[in-house]
Amino acid sequence: MLYDRLDRLRDRTTTRLAELYKQRGFNHQAVWEREAFVDREVERMERLLGVDRGLCFGRLDTIEGSVSHIGRIALADEEYNPLLIDWRAPAAEPFYRATAANPGQLARRRHIQVRHRKVIGVDDEVFVGDAQAAPAGSIHGEAALIASLNAHRTGRMSDIVATIQAEQDRIIRAPLKGILVVQGGPGTGKTVAALHRAAYLLYTHREQLERSGVLVIGPNSTFMRYIDQVLPSLGETGVNLTTIGGLLPGIEASADDDALAQLKGDLRMAGVVAAAVRYHQRVPRKPVRLEIDGVGLDLDPEFVRTARTRARRSRRSHNEARPVFVREVLRPLALQYLERSGQAVDDDELADMRAELADHPDVRSVLDDLWPALSPQSLLAALFSDPKLVSAAARSLDPEERHLLQRSGRSQDGPWSEADIPLLDEAAELLGEIPDETALAAARRAEQERRAEQEFAADLLTGLDLGFPVDASQVAERYRGTPASTTTEQRAAQDRAWAYGHVIIDEAQELSPMAWRMVMRRVPSKSMTVVGDIAQTSAVAGARSWSAVLDPHAEGRWRLQTLSVNYRTPAEVMKVAADVLASIDPSLTPPESVRSTGEAPSAVPVTPDRLDDRLAELVAVDLDAEAEGRTAVIVPSRRAEDVYARLTDPGGGGIPPETVALGTRDPAALDARLVVLTVNQAKGLEFDSVIVMEPAEILAESARGATDLYVAVTRPTQHLTVLYTGDLPDELASLAP
């Protein structure tokens, strides 16, 4: 019945769109009325098309005898009687929160498993009669949950809307205000809970967040591809997903080495960037002599110092304060010229003379030297390459750090590293836009035209009764015939200074102090969901504690919730991971697994000359065993290219190239049945089988090698194999043959 209703709604929407597209529109009003309806129907169709899988997954029976069904979206019949309740609605909360100890008004909760519109399983929890009470902290819908956990990985994260557990639901439905920190070990579902929280907040605070937008920040591009289908499957497409390296429009970022990334992530770099800006606001040591049309002028350092002081006191950014500086410098020069050339000195003559001097090449050259217009790229390129600037601006750094910074030299065109992005953002904040007088004049004319067009559009919309809000500025854009960004996420993605209504950060423990400064600028309201695990911090500039990174920005405005149940990783694998975790910090407690596969992880010793052959054999076994699943080979960074080449070499591993991908170069790596990854690329991902190669090298290649190993061994949902030469690290002693 529900699917029949869904199909009818889709057919009706399709018919309505066809009718709208047939309308020609003989005037602007008719065209805009049609396009407004088209936009609304397209949005509705996108939502209806995204919910077919598992449309209805739950049923609630109350003590009074009422029955309701829970699903991905809300559906109603022709008389608007509810047929299906949206999982985010308050009425659906008992489906996730009720327990045997506190069932409320529920008599029964039913989990419904559906495949291709057919019910394949029903799991009932009865809360009345002789039903035996389960422990208060037990999982609910166990059959559906275990079935989803045992299913083969697809290369993309799936939603958990049908199997959300009570501790996850508390996070999902937490209030919008303030910073919610979600601390959880591997497999606890913190990422997917945060994504469901985005969908819930958009449902609950639609009007507010549709205007300001929601931003999701992940650790790397591979991870972003891994999660990009979760929100669309929940009917939400209006969310920006990006990495730290993608927060500056138009700039692509690569990686820095550990030492350089740690230095650039240090909070002292904010002072270094600010000092570099001030360095370009110069006062000459002696008067500057200028010859203008045969008249000698002297630009006294005291004039320049006064101009610089007034420009700085304007509290404008560097580039926006430049006109103030220029105006203050030109005034005494113009006065000198008029006096020395014997001309009358009055306000009109003074204004004309200032304008003439401003256009003179020699004067412009001096002004550009004393207070140049700067871009963030040009500022950092100079900082990284000019020893004099480094010495002047980076006094808070020791000599070795200054040398390291200078060694990272970049041209104005890059390439830029991910650690450079927060520095570029810091510079952009201090510099502001570069003013151009011609462009400013054109912009003023364009703004006047735009206002007139918006007034016309507003008058046009006043006569329409569309039944939903339409932005007059967007109507004016289209009316003018220029392309318009019609969605909040499109406009936000193009605007560095956009203020989001809510920001979600996954793997947040990896952010450096400078990266936190950049993120906080994107959300002035400090409405955030911060997701991570301090025990998995592998970045050398990453967090040691949540208070250390959050208190400088929002002391007393953040709260912590912990996820303690591991839904992904089998108990056998977590037993091995617990030993690695203890080597990081003996006081840390691993999350408790809810399931067991009955298959113990294995360690495979091999001689160096047999390493490649043995890896190929293990891969072949895993691919054969996981005919529909995914296998990952997690390797030390320096081995990634070589391992991939040998696995695909017909004379070596002989794995068909279409079966295997290399995470460092292949954007579609997650779709391959076999993928070769470094630890950083594997962060946050999950696979049916995982082969960890040369764990001793993983331990040795980073200052936080034990953390990297902990991440590596907690990626599988079924099987873990460790392949090694030499001695097995002490952290994995329990695997010793």
> Can you spell out the DSSP letters for 297-326?
EEE-HHHHHHHHHHHHHTT--HHHHHHHHH
Looking at residue 516, its pLDDT comes to 98
Average pLDDT of the residues in 429-437? 81
What is the pLDDT, as a whole number, of residue 477? 59
Lowest mean pLDDT across 299-303, 340-344, 398-402: 340-344
Q: Higher pLDDT residue, 444 or 714?
A: 714
> What value does the mean pLDDT take over residues 290-315?
94
pLDDT at position 734 is 92
705-713 helix and 571-584 helix, angle to the nearest 10 degrees: 170
- In this predicted structure, the answer to whether residue 482 has a pLDDT above a threshold of 50 is no
pLDDT above 90 for 269: yes
Distances (CA, A) of 714 to 29, 189, 486, 690: 59, 13, 42, 9
**What confidence tier does 481 reach under pLDDT thresholds 50, 70, 90?**
very low
Task: For residues 595-621, give the mean pLDDT.
Answer: 94
86: its two tokens: 């949206």
Q: Using pLDDT thresholds of 50, 70 and 90, give the confidence band for residue 215.
A: very high
Question: For residue 476, is pLDDT > 70?
Answer: no
> What single string gives the DSSP state of each residue in 363-418?
HHHHHHHHS----HHHHHHHHHH-HHHHHHH-TTS-HHHHHHHHHT--BTTB-EET
pLDDT over threshold 50, residue 579: yes
**In the predicted structure, residue 709 carries a pLDDT above the cut 60:** yes
Closest by Cα among 137, 242, 236, 320 to 503: 242
Cα separation of the two ends of the chain: 57
Rounded average pLDDT over 389-417: 86
The pLDDT of residue 198 is 96
Does the pLDDT at position 41 exceed 60? yes
> Which H or E run contains 566?
strand 565-566
- For residues 12-21, give the mean pLDDT: 86
> What mean pLDDT is predicted for residues 344-372?
91
Binding-site annotation, residues: 184-191
- pLDDT of residue 297 exceeding 70, the answer is yes
Residue ranges at the known binding site for ATP: 184-191
Please report where in the chains the tokens 């309740």 appear, as a residue. 85
Q: How confident is the model at residue 140 (pLDDT cuts 50, 70, 90)?
A: confident
* Confidence (pLDDT) at 27: 61
Over residues 614-670, the pLDDT tens digits come to 999 999 998 887 677 899 999 999 999 999 999 988 877 778 888 889 986 666 678
Burial of 385 (0-12, 13-18, 19+ CB in 10 A): middle
Stretch 557-564: mean pLDDT: 95
3-class DSSP string for 125-166: EECCCCCCCCCCCCCCCHHHHHHHHHCCCCCCCCCCCCCCCH
Q: What is the pLDDT of residue 306?
A: 96
pLDDT of 638:
92
Give me the DSSP letters along 672-687: SSEEEE-HHHHTT--E
Mean of all residue pLDDT scores within the chain: 88
Q: Which pLDDT tens digit goes with each residue over 103-113? A: 999 999 999 99
Rounded to the nearest 5°, which phi and psi values hold at 502? -155, 140
Instruction: Evaluate whether 691 touches 622 at the Cβ level (below 8 Å).
Output: yes
> Has residue 467 got a pLDDT over 60?
no
